[in-house]
Amino acid sequence: MTKFSDLKLDPKVLKAIEEAGYESPTPIQAGAIPPALDGRDVLGIAQTGTGKTASFTLPMITLLSKGRARARMPRSLVLCPTRELAAQVAENFDTYTKHLKLTKALLIGGVSFKEQDALIDRGVDVLIATPGRLLDHFERGKLLLTGVQIMVVDEADRMLDMGFIPDIERIFSLTPFTRQTLFFSATMAPEIERITNTFLSNPERIEIARQATTSETITQGVVKFKASRKDREGSEKRNLLRALIDGEGDKLKNAIIFCNRKSDVDIVAKSLKKYGYDASPIHGDLDQSQRMKTLDQFRDGSLRFLIASDVAARGLDIPAVSHVFNFDVPGHAEDYVHRIGRTGRAGREGTAITICAPRDEKAFDAVEALVQKEIPQLENPLKDAKPAPRKAKDEAEAEETGKPRSTRKDSRQKETAKTSRTDEGATERAPRQDSRKEPRRDEDSSRSRRGGGRKRDDNVVGMGDHMPSFIALSFDERRAS
């Protein structure tokens, strides 16, 4: 078996690896590190959770251990699709450069430009950035990329999904053509293939597993779900999620729950908190400091449930995740692979459960076609449960989502407001009719006809004008007649 000591890494890097508790490289590391150390371009294709980050950080540190950076001219560049992944790569560099005097800068959104400018001005050996923030600094004249010796593109397929490919092509054009390029992706879409053919020179291709495979250590399952009514789908789906969580019992240590929409991330997190589950949301609209705080809490075990959009699906190193729940079937089949890849890492066992509504059937068929296996169908734990009364359902929905529940009275009021609009489209309501209107001329005669010719007693009140006259008679009068 290959060991890190066999890979010609810098002795100080090997010491840091040993202190981190690693001895043997993963297949992608064993395949990518030797050609990278030889200065060749590398194209690495491997599923998430296989150790791609160390595949480029370790050879980069070794190659950069000699030399010195100049102001505003970084010696190497690492591009990442998300802030969280960029921050994680920065942590990897901190771990493996502890015995070397290499400098780094992290350029991501949500952090002051002034602080980042100060780091760049001093000169950095390693620049880790998201594409948008990197180009912001370049356009402000604070950064030059002509000194880049090594360029890394991490999670390239995610870059494609997020629309970063034009930015990546522009950044490539700003770097020297003599640079060394290390390119890593979980899948190889045609657009990514085109970029590698354009910007990589005779790369060493390392493909560890077939494209878009799932780990054999992950137990997968799907629960087919159909709401009793369309307007109850959200609350019933959240009920099912809680039942699935409870059904896993002690096997469930922690879990990431993925939703397709950011709004659903917030609603599911709020719902779980309401029912006593330790949960917090993470998605792209949250402040960067809040996102990092939530991730740190999940990593250190102080948070049990992380409710996430796909911003957390790629590349994040959270090794001990026991479960992944797909609250929604992802719109892109490849995202399923990356989502469930958050569990079952480093040889551990994991569980991935997906909730599939009727409208998700087509997307789920695409997932099974991609992974080339049939995902076992699990029994719905709420199959025999009786539906709650409408009022209780509406009140629970209002509490979970924070939206006031609509009532039939509200609907009637809205309908009245609609019908009272004028023909010309004016939005004013029609004036109220005066209830004290004059009786019609024929009212008295019609009452007389209904009452058999008798006039009702004026002292009898409360029965309305339609009351027959005989009801107003006393018993004695009725007997006499």
Q: Is 151 found in the same domain as 12?
A: yes
> In terms of DSSP H, where are the helices of 77-227?
83-96, 113-122, 131-139, 156-161, 165-174, 190-199
pLDDT tens digits for range 56-70 = 999 999 999 988 888
> Is the residue at 264 inside a domain?
yes
Q: Is 174 found in the same domain as 247?
A: no
CA distance 93 to 64: 12
> Is the residue at 102 inside a domain?
yes
| Greater model confidence, 390 or 90 | 90
CA distance 179 to 54: 20
Q: If you average pLDDT over residues 438-447, what whole number do you get?
A: 44
Q: Which of 5-19, 157-171, 173-187 is predicted with the least confidence, judged by mean pLDDT?
A: 157-171
Q: Is 195 found in the same domain as 224?
A: no
> Is the residue at 271 inside a domain?
yes
Q: Give me the count of residues in the chain.
A: 481
DSSP H/E element including 63: helix 52-64
Q: Which of 145-149, 181-185, 397-401, 472-476 is predicted with the least confidence, judged by mean pLDDT?
A: 397-401
Average pLDDT of every residue of the chain: 82
pLDDT band at 408 (very low <50, low <70, confident <90, very high): very low
Where does residue 215 rank: exposed (0-12), middle (13-18), buried (19+ CB within 10 A)? buried
> What is the pLDDT, as a whole number, of residue 479?
58
Q: If you average pLDDT over residues 279-300, what whole number do you get?
A: 86
Q: If you average pLDDT over residues 273-284, what whole number do you get?
A: 92
Most confident of 17-31, 44-58, 455-469: 17-31
Tokens of 449: 């006809």
Q: Is 290 found in the same domain as 198?
A: no
Q: Compute how many other C-beta atoms are within 10 angstroms of the C-beta atom of residue 195.
A: 20
Number of compact structural domains in the chain = 3
> What is the pLDDT, as a whole number, of residue 307?
95
Q: Which of 33-47, 126-140, 458-472 is predicted with the least confidence, judged by mean pLDDT?
A: 458-472
Q: If you average pLDDT over residues 344-369, what whole number do you get?
A: 91
> What is the pLDDT, as a whole number, of residue 157?
84
Q: If you average pLDDT over residues 438-464, what whole number do you get?
A: 47
Q: If you average pLDDT over residues 43-55, what whole number do you get?
A: 84
Q: Is 334 found in the same domain as 291?
A: yes
230 pLDDT above the threshold of 50: yes
CA distance 335 to 189: 13
Q: Is 203 found in the same domain as 222?
A: no
214 pLDDT above the threshold of 50: yes
| Greater model confidence, 453 or 338 | 338
Q: Which of 207, 232, 247 is a domain's end point?
A: 207
Q: Is 354 found in the same domain as 233?
A: yes
Q: Is 195 found in the same domain as 248?
A: no
Q: Is 237 found in the same domain as 170?
A: no
Tokens of 201: 């020179």
The proportion of the chain whose per-residue pLDDT surpasses 90, expressed as a percent, equals: 51
Q: Is 200 found in the same domain as 61?
A: yes
Whole domain around residue 253: which residue ranges?
Answer: 218-396
Q: If you average pLDDT over residues 109-128, what whole number do you get?
A: 90
pLDDT band at 321 (very low <50, low <70, confident <90, very high): very high
> Is the residue at 425 inside a domain?
no
> Is the residue at 408 inside a domain?
no
Question: What torsion do the CA atoms of 317, 322, 328, 329 make, to the nearest 10 degrees?
Answer: 80
> Is the residue at 92 inside a domain?
yes
> What is the pLDDT, as a whole number, of residue 318?
78
CA distance 356 to 367: 12
> What is the pLDDT, as a whole number, of residue 424?
43
Q: Is 379 found in the same domain as 275?
A: yes
**If we measure between CA atoms, which residue out of 17, 3, 180 comes closest to residue 100?**
17
Q: Is 165 found in the same domain as 94?
A: yes
Q: Which of 174, 207, 240 is a domain's end point?
A: 207
**pTM higher than the cut 0.85:** no
> Is the residue at 404 inside a domain?
no
Q: Which of 339, 364, 396 is a domain's end point?
A: 396
State the CATH number of the domain containing residue 116. Answer: 3.40.50.300
> What is the pLDDT, as a whole number, of residue 350?
93
